[in-house]
């Protein structure tokens, strides 16, 4: 099963899209329903290393506030 399929099944995740070229997973989620560490745990449970790029998180947050 694909990573994005599993992550999309998590309550609170609205979209997960994998970019195979950059090996990055972009996840859009509702922070009131799921925490970042739960998303990371789900990915790591599948056997993949995972970390959060803070720059991307902050950049997206600024874009949503506009």
Q: What is the largest CA-CA distance in the chain?
A: 37
Question: What pLDDT, on a 0 to 100 scale, did the predictor assign at position 60?
Answer: 58
Q: Which residues lie below 8 Å from residue 33, measured CB to CB, with a gap of 6+? A: 11, 12
Sequence-ordered alpha helix ranges (H) in the chain: 3-8, 36-45, 54-65
pTM for the model stands at: 0.74
Q: Is 62 strand, coil or helix?
A: helix
* pLDDT tens column, 6-65: 999 999 999 999 998 988 899 999 989 999 999 999 999 999 998 888 666 555 555 555
Domains and CATH numbers, the chain: 3-65 (3.30.70.100)
Residue 55 DSSP symbol: H
Cβ proximity of 25 and 36 under 8 Å: no
């Amino acid at each position: 099963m694909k990573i994005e399929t599993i992550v999309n099944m998590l309550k609170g995740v609205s979209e997960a899209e994998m970019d195979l070229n950059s090996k990055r997973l972009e996840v859009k989620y509702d922070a009131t329903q799921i925490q970042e560490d739960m998303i990371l745990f789900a990915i790591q449970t599948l056997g993949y290393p995972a970390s959060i790029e803070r720059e991307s998180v902050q950049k997206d947050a600024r874009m949503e506030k506009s």
